[in-house]
Amino acid sequence: MSQNRKFEITDARGGAAFAVRVVTRAVATEIVGTQEDGALKVRLVASPAGDPAANEELINLLAQKLEVDKKRIEIVAGAGSREKMISVEGISTADVESKLGGQKAEE
């Protein structure tokens, strides 16, 4: 698998899909911004990144920021790793970009 792949928010199953890179053991749970590869960088208090508690924390944060029910958010790939693919039903890519994107994350 190439480490140079370009992550982008794409339309999927009547919703949107996007990549997230998780940093754990943070002081606060927060969305840091978008990295150069397009992945959304998120800091979580829970650890490790593949732990069910960390995944739940991520889903709760995204549901709050996107203003959707957490049942509409699914980790479709990478549930056990730092790099995850997220699918959100019933939301447009434009909504995801306006609610989550915009700022570049520091590396």
Residue 99: pLDDT band (50, 70, 90) is confident
- 54 is in which domain, residue-wise? 10-100
Domain count, the chain: 1
87, 76 in Cβ contact below 8 A? yes
Q: Is the pTM of this model over 0.85?
A: no
Q: Which of 16, 17, 18, 41 is nearest to 30 (CA)?
A: 41
Is the per-residue pLDDT at 2 higher than 50?
Answer: no
Is residue 2, in this structure, part of any structural domain at all?
no
- Using DSSP, state whether 3 is helix, strand or coil: coil
Beta pairing partners, 104: 34
What are the pLDDT digits (tens) for 17-52? 899 999 999 999 999 988 888 889 999 998 888 889
Is residue 1, in this structure, part of any structural domain at all?
no
CATH number at residue 81: 3.30.1200.10
Is residue 14, in this structure, part of any structural domain at all?
yes
- Using DSSP, state whether 37 is helix, strand or coil: coil
Q: In this structure, what token pair is assigned to residue 5?
A: 């792949």
pLDDT score of 81: 93
Beta pairing partners, 30: 43
